[in-house]
Amino acid sequence: MIRDRGRIKWTSMMLPEHVKLLRDWVKEDGYEQKKEMDEQQLELMNETLSEAIEFDQFVTITHYRNRNYEIVIGKIHYWDELSQRLHVVDRFEEVHRIPINAIADIRLTDM
């Protein structure tokens, strides 16, 4: 059986700059591309958003931040029309300000 040590075997022969570039490359490989929304999805999200605000329901919001998608679960506190952001308060009373153009999905959640 061959006991190969993988990258450990080669890093001793590489310059530190090369090792750093390889680590950055692996980290960038995990980045996700932002998906474009069509009009039907936007209309459905708008209806869900209106219902959640009107009936004060919990929502699960998937949004694009720092080159990855993140999930926030909470109640929509209010919609800031000037800065185009939703203010969402989660279960731990933490406030999230989510830009409306970064939202990928909104769903009603039972808590």
Look up the CATH number of the domain holding residue 83.
2.30.30.520
SS3 83: coil
Residue located via tokens 């009373």: 93
81 found inside a domain: yes
Tell me the Cα Rg of the chain. Answer: 21
Structural domain boundaries enclosing 95:
57-109
Amino acid (one-letter) located at 85: R
Tokens of 50: 């209106």
pLDDT at 2 over 70: no
Residue 37 lies in a domain: no
d(CA 110, CA 62): 16
Number of domains in the chain: 1
Asked whether residue 22 is assigned to any structural domain, the reply reads no
Indicate whether 83 belongs to any domain.
yes
Query: Is 74 within a domain?
Result: yes
* pLDDT score of 3: 63
As a whole number, mean pLDDT of residues 83-106 equals 94
CA distance to 4, 5, 12, 14, 47, per residue, from 9 (Å)? 8, 6, 7, 10, 56
Question: What's the distance, Cα to Cα, between the start and end of the chain in Å?
Answer: 52
**pLDDT attached to residue 84:** 93
Q: Is the distance from CB of 74 to CB of 89 less than 8 angstroms?
A: yes
pLDDT for 10: 63
Q: Which residues pair with 88 in a beta bridge?
A: 76, 96
> Which tokens hold the place of 73?
């679960």
Rounded Cα distance between 59 and 77, Å, is 11
- Higher-confidence residue of 31 and 87: namely 87
